[in-house]
Amino acid sequence: MSQAPSTSFVQHLNFLARDASNESAALQAAVSLGLLNPLGATPVPLSELARRLGANVRGVRSVIEPLVALGFVTLEEGRGYSLPESTAAFLSDASFMSRLKENHDGWHAVALLPQAVRTGADVEGRDVLGWYRALFLEPQVSAPNARAEDFFDRSARNFARTQALVTAAELGLLERWVKGPGSLDALAEALGVPARSLEVLVKVLATMGIAQEVEGTWAFTEDAARMLDANSLPYFQRALPATMAYWEALGHLDEAVREQRFRLDLRDPQTARRIYQENASRISGIFASHLRLSRKAAELVRGMRSLAGARVLDVGTGSGVWGAAFGLADPSTHVTFLDSPHVLDAVRPHLAKLKLEARSRLWEGDCLSVDYGEAAYDVILLPQIIPALPSESLPGFFAKLARALRPGGVLLISGYLLTDRRDGPLDALYFALRRYVSNEGDVLSMPEFRALLNPVGLTSARGFDLPIQQVVVAHRGEHAWPEGAA
């Protein structure tokens, strides 16, 4: 029987696939915006920092919050941001800072890596393979201190690691390694690329713990082989196109913060249509595993109130996986699935398969402008939709939803939940950064949710940890919380 890969390796690879480029973008934008320059030992409030930079508050916050979580900036509650000595030390090291800035220049070049490996030549006048060799395979100039080295690695190498992974997937190298090892020449022939350029990619993947050389052949490391098999590889690779969809926008994060110009603007209907359609088809592919999660949430609500005859509304339904769980939780529920028309096409086949069609309604509309009516629903679901909505629309949106909830009604919000100080978890902050760079909404903390829920009468609210997501459940105080509620 094969052993499971180590948890830390799984986290490492998932980080490279999803978040490493967000991390590099945040650190690079902090440097290019000069965001850290006004900071010292005395805390500077966020609004003052944004004012000094001539930038947008929300944008500055989405860049600086991950830096706080990583320990490069200190947040003193109620006072603002300051710099720990270790960060101040490397910021004032001119040669280190110029090396850092030089490497940031690689953002758009590394996206050309697949082409560089295929041709073995310069692409658009850039020696992309040489850039990788210099950064990963040749002796490195040492940084002034360990924190500086860490900053450099995250800022200058992480996005390049993601691109190496994307290239390995795109060229079919990961798929080839699932079948077993091969010599460099055999791999190059199978992939139809020059062995010399493939060698650079393979050796970079070795520095990332993905590949290893064994007696003249190259193969997955043991951990990579355990994590990436014929079943799991397609699932893993599905995250990569979504990462690439944000690549250009993240490369211009500084511009988005300074000028509020968004290269990937989800408030543009055409762009939103394309991205949400891709998202719905991607999450449809993982419907079964998502359903296990949403069914747990349905159980949680059923532990608080009966679902017999319940009218349920799933807002921003995507694949329909949350509403479907409530459809399955009791044979007498009726579920309304609300999203835009092109997304609802992805819901129909799931409802047919689960035999839920007769108790379902598909509702095409914009959740911010439709009329929800009064006392129409017992349960309203907001699964991963809040970060997609402009923050300024939320008070009015919650007021409409509260009006639509029947007595005893429950509102359930799922997705990421930030700590009360908004200083973690890191993956939630990176998710929030992507929302900023695509001109969407924000990820919120429990106090921020309470500030929206209390004024509309949903005065009882708690957060719960489910596997991979958190949920916030809110009501008017009519229900007892289940045992062990946070």
Ligand X SMILES: C[S@@+](CC[C@H](N)C(=O)[O-])C[C@H]1O[C@@H](n2cnc3c(N)ncnc32)[C@H](O)[C@@H]1O
Binding residues for ligand X, rule: CB under 6 A, are 276, 279-280, 283, 316-319, 321-322, 339-340, 343, 366-368, 383-385, 388
CA dihedral 32, 14, 423, 83 (to 10 degrees): -40
Q: Shortest gap between Cβ of 12 and ligand X (angstroms)?
A: 25
**Between helices 20-32 and 426-437, what is the axis angle to 10°?**
70
- Across the strands, what pairs with 472? 413, 463
Nearer to ligand X, 169 or 388 (CB): 388
Distance (Å, whole) CA 102 – CA 65? 24
User: Cα-flanking dihedrals φ and ψ of residue 384, to 5°?
Assistant: 55, 35
Q: For residue 51, give every residue at least 6 positions away whose Cβ sits within 8 Å of its Cβ, in sequence order, or none.
A: none
Assess contact for 157 and 143: CB atoms under 8 A. no
Least distance between ligand X and beta carbon 234 (Å): 19
Which residue, 119 or 281, is less far from ligand X as judged by CB? 281
By beta-carbon proximity to ligand X, the closer residue of 109 and 249 is 249
Instruction: Tell the smallest beta-carbon distance from residue 277 to ligand X (Å).
Output: 8
Residue 315 Cβ vs ligand X, minimum distance, rounded to whole Å: 7
As measured in angstroms, the least distance from the Cβ of 434 to ligand X is 11
Tell the smallest beta-carbon distance from residue 69 to ligand X (Å).
22
**In the complex with ligand X, which residue's Cβ is closer, 251 or 320?**
320
Q: Which is nearer to ligand X, 223 or 339 (CB)?
A: 339
Least Cα distance to 311 among 319, 321, 323 occurs for 323
Residue nearest to ligand X (CB): 318
Q: How far is the CB of 305 from ligand X (least distance, A)?
A: 22
18: Cβ–Cβ under 8 A, 6 or more apart, which residues? 239, 242, 243, 427, 430
State which residue, 368 or 451, has the beta carbon closest to ligand X.
368
C-alpha angle with apex 13: 9 to 19, nearest 5 degrees? Answer: 130
- Among residues 183 and 384, whose Cβ is nearest to ligand X? 384
CB of 440 to ligand X, least distance (A): 8
Nearer of residues 201 and 401 to ligand X, judged by Cβ: 401
Written in H, E and C, the secondary structure of 34-78 is: CCCCCCCCCCECHHHHHHHHCCCHHHHHHHHHHHHHCCCCEEECC
Kindly compute the dihedral angle of the four CA atoms of residues 160, 163, 165, 166, in this order, to the nearest 10 degrees.
180
Q: Is 13 or 297 the residue whose CB approaches ligand X more closely?
A: 297
Question: Closest separation between CB of residue 278 and ligand X, Å?
Answer: 10
Q: What CA–CA distances, in Å, run from 292 to 64, 248, 303?
A: 35, 34, 17
| Cβ distance to ligand X smaller for residue 155 or 414 | 414
Looking up tokens 């009604």 gives 409
CB atoms within 10 A of CB 381: 30
Least distance CB 141 / ligand X (angstroms):
42
State which H helix or E strand residue 242 sits in. helix 239-245
Contact 49, 39 (CB under 8 A): yes
For the chain, how big is the Rg over CA atoms in Å?
24
In 256-274, which positions are buried (b, 16+ CB within 10 angstroms) versus exposed (e)? bbbeeebbbbbeeeebbee
CB-based contact 446:417 (threshold 8 Å): yes
User: 43 or 415: whose CB is closer to ligand X?
Assistant: 415
Contact between 142 and 149 (Cβ < 8 Å): yes
- Minimum gap (Å) between residue 354 Cβ and ligand X: 15
Q: Are 361 and 389 in contact (CB under 8 A)?
A: no
